Amino acid sequence: MTLYDLFWGLGDFLQWTFTLLQADMIGNMFNYACIALGFVGLFYWLNWQKKFNQQAENDPNQLK
């Protein structure tokens, strides 16, 4: 196997994966999944922030 074959194989694989992302059956599903993942991350972070704020209120020696 030469380096030429390796690069052509890699290029064919990448073209195949990008073709799957452009398929009509996917549509806006990827966009909706990114938005949903962003909201899940936001609510996860807000939950942690609420816990940190409660911990800071309970500790009078902590710098704010």
63 lies in a domain?
A: no
Q: Which domain holds residue 43?
A: 3-58
The total number of structural domains that make up the chain: 1
29 lies in a domain?
A: yes
- pLDDT tens, position by position, 2-61: 899 999 999 999 998 888 777 666 777 888 999 999 999 999 999 999 999 999 888 888
- The Cα 9–Cα 4 span in angstroms is 9
Q: Is the pLDDT of residue 63 over 80?
A: no
- The Cα 34–Cα 40 span in angstroms is 10
Structural contact between residues 42 and 33, judged by C-beta atoms closer than 8 angstroms: no
64 lies in a domain?
A: no
Tell how far CA 38 is from the center of its chain: 8
8 lies in a domain?
A: yes
Helix extents (H) in the chain: 3-21, 29-58
Q: What is the pLDDT of residue 7?
A: 93
